[in-house]
Amino acid sequence: MTKVITQAVTIDAGSATGLGVEWEGGQLVIIGAEKGLVACGAIDVKVMDKFNAVVAVAKGTPQSPLKTPDDLLAAKIVDATSKAKECGVTIGMSGKEALEKLLTM
C-alpha cells in the first residue's frame, strides 16, 4: 500500500509544506516553499534547471533513505539548480539551511 504524508514544516525563517510518498520498493520526499523545493535525489536537477526552477537536492542511501521532511532537513545538499545557487544554496549545507535560503529570498 502506498503511504503519503503531508506536514507543515516550520523553521525560524518561515513555513513550507513537506510531502513524503512511500511505495513498495521506493520513496521520495520534498519540501515545497513558495519559491522552490528542497528535495530528495528522485528529483532530477538537470531537468529542473531547464525549467529555471529553484531546487536543492539531498540524497539518502539504501541503508538510510530520506523518507520524511525531517530526514530531508537533516540531510546534506549534494546538488542544486543554477537558480538555487543564485539564492545562496551551496553544496554541503543542510536541507534546513537550504530551506532557509528559499524562504528568505
| CATH number (domain holding residue 93) | 3.30.1980.10
Backbone angles phi, psi at 29, to 5 degrees: -145, 140
How many domains, the chain? 1
Q: Domain residues for 52?
A: 3-104
Q: What is the pLDDT of residues 25-73, one digit of tens each?
A: 889 999 999 999 999 999 999 999 999 999 999 998 888 889 999 999 9
Backbone angles phi, psi at 97, to 5 degrees: -65, -40
Q: Using 50, 70 and 90 to split pLDDT, how confident is the model at 91?
A: very high
**Share above pLDDT 90 across residues of the chain, in percent, rounded to a whole number:** 89
pTM, whole model, 2 decimals?
Answer: 0.93
Q: What is the pLDDT of residue 8?
A: 97
Question: How many Cβ atoms from other residues are within 10 Å of residue 96's Cβ?
Answer: 18
Number of Cα atoms under 13 Å in the Cβ half of residue 77? 28
**What cell numbers appear for 41 in the block?**
535525489
Rounded Cα–Cα distance for residues 25 and 2 (Å): 10
The partner residues of 31 in beta bridges, in order of sequence, read 18, 38
Residue-averaged pLDDT of the chain: 95
Write the DSSP symbol of residue 101.
Answer: H
Write the DSSP symbol of residue 9.
Answer: E
